[in-house]
Amino acid sequence: MDIRKIKKLIELLEESGIAEIEIKEGEEAVRISRMPTGGAVLHALPQISALPAVVPAQPTPSAPAVETVPSARQNEHVITAPMVGTFYASPSPGGKPFVEIGDEIKIGQVLCIIEAMKMMNQIEADRAGRITSIMARSGDPVEFGQPLFVIE
């Protein structure tokens, strides 16, 4: 399932006031539910026949995800993982990385790939600037909201 579709579902959920929605496309399933504080949480559920049809949501911390991101200096911007998955710095194993420390980047430039549910999702820069830090290694698992890049 495409990350843009998931973001659109989150927006629809917030606008409608619905507490929870689950969408299935073939073997992929996504459940989005509201936290008591009004934010939306994304739970990706792999379809495995050994799992029950409904998987209970994991308890979520009451602190906002923003507090888990290290505070950036005034001229820095932190790009975080928009989903849970596996971080890849290059388009293929052993290939040249999308970006390296010191690279000048533009808005919309691909920074990395996050594999989630066997789908490769390109993560693009939401700001132009210079990469000052890369906080994940290729092949590392990443969590939603985890800092990936610092742009100056």
For residue 87, the tally of other CB atoms under 10 A from its CB is 21
- Measured over the CA atoms of residue 140, residue 143, residue 144 and residue 145, the dihedral's sign is negative
Mean pLDDT of 128-145: 93
Type and span of the H or E element at 6? helix 3-16
Write out the residue range of the structural domain in which residue 7 sits: 3-57
Residue 90: DSSP 8-state: S
Q: Is the pLDDT of residue 137 over 70?
A: yes
Do residues 63 and 145 touch, judged by C-beta distance below 8 A?
A: no
Q: Is the pLDDT of residue 64 over 60?
A: no
Q: Is the domain of 53 the same as that of 71?
A: no
Q: Is the domain of 25 the same as that of 77?
A: no
Q: Is the domain of 105 the same as that of 145?
A: yes
Q: Is the domain of 14 the same as that of 88?
A: no
Q: Is the domain of 72 the same as that of 44?
A: no
Do residues 84 and 65 touch, judged by C-beta distance below 8 A?
A: no
Q: Is the domain of 12 the same as that of 52?
A: yes
Q: Is the domain of 90 the same as that of 139?
A: yes
Q: Is the domain of 51 the same as that of 70?
A: no
Q: Is the domain of 74 the same as that of 133?
A: yes
Residue 16: DSSP 8-state: H
Q: Is the pLDDT of residue 122 over 50?
A: yes
Number of structural domains the chain divides into: 2
Residue 4: DSSP 8-state: H
**Is this prediction's pTM over 0.85?**
no
